[in-house]
Amino acid sequence: MEDRVSYMKVQEMAKFLKKEVNIEPKIGLICSFDLLPVMDIVEGRTEVKYKDIPYFPKPAGACASDLLVFGSIASIPVVVLTGRFYFYEGFSLNIVTMPVRLFKLLGCTELIICNTAHSVNPKYKLGDVVLLRDHLDFVGIPGSNPLRGPNEIRLGERFVSMNNCYDKEVLKHVRKTAEEELGWGKKVHNGVYAYLSGPTSETVAEANLLNILGADVVGLSTVPEVIEARHCDLYVFGLSLVIVEARLEYIVYREPSRREISNVIEEAIPKLQELLVKVVEFMGVKRPCICIRKSELKKK
């Protein structure tokens, strides 16, 4: 399994896709396989198979999707990664984050990233949606950071501030929209996502530790892509759908069946579709122009 995809190879991917697809995306979207039906809202679709893209890695797993989907949501041009790469599958973090670099070279300025997660906050219940305001990187803290190694200056600076990794303007707008326009009430929260390497889930002791440290949900993805997105100067919005409630006591918990988890996801899909249209609309059209990107500062 290849460990790194060079900048030159990502350039070749972008060059190929620009010839094949007559859409320049503004927003890139990455979501868990379970949440792929959310992306049915993409209109005017052009699909490209991973195997047809030069140097593009092959996803692992029997149910992994293998399409890059171009189209629009709320008339905003987007590109969707339908099969993501996971650290626990044996991919290096360079491979895990490669799609974000590709999004950047395709012209994206924003990233939306969605996942399913376990709650470690007892107030966050099954089917709740958590809008990410921050994260805890338990893979990166010991040293496995996707930016480790030689820096690619054509993408971003050597040292990247993560103080504002999730766009506060978007978060504020989406929370208000979910509560006031969509009527979600107590089913939507702001929260902190804890990233573990997997594939095992958290123990009771680990869940309690994460809760004490300020995490609300825990999962096995998202954070590497967010780090790469900030390195590439992309604005980020992220959300988690809670599919397992917090397990903080030493009692025998019944493991939810695949069917039960699927039911939670199926019930949430229409709501998430409705929300994502609002998110894309805001990020693509209505966002207040209060931020100047580093790349824009350099031009001046």
Q: What is the pLDDT of residues 22-36, one digit of tens each?
A: 999 999 999 988 999
Task: Say whether pLDDT at 52 is over 80.
Answer: yes
pLDDT interval class at 175 (50, 70, 90):
very high
C-alpha 236/C-alpha 16 separation (Å) is 26
Each residue's pLDDT tens digit, 85-141: 999 999 999 999 999 999 999 999 999 999 999 999 999 999 999 999 999 999 999
Indicate the fold that domain 7-287 takes in CATH.
Rossmann fold (3.40.50)
Calculate mean pLDDT across residues 43-57: 96
**Calpha distance 3→148 (Å, rounded):** 13
DSSP state of 254: P
What are the tens digits of pLDDT across the range 184-204?
Answer: 999 999 999 999 999 999 999
Residue 183 tokens, joined: 């009527």
Which residues are CB-neighbours of 30 under 8 A, at least 6 positions away?
A: 80, 81, 84, 99, 100, 111, 112, 113, 114, 225
What token pair was written down for 12?
A: 């070749």
In whole angstroms, what is the distance from residue 116 CA to residue 244 CA? 9
Residue 147 above 90 pLDDT?
A: yes
Give the per-residue pLDDT at 26.
96
Helix (H) or strand (E) holding 104: helix 93-106
- Which tens digit of pLDDT belongs to each residue from 148-172? 999 999 999 999 999 989 999 999 9
Going by pLDDT thresholds of 50, 70 and 90, the confidence category of residue 299 is very low
Provide the H-helix boundaries in the chain.
7-20, 93-106, 168-176, 204-212, 223-231, 258-281, 294-299
> At residue 149, what is the residue type?
G
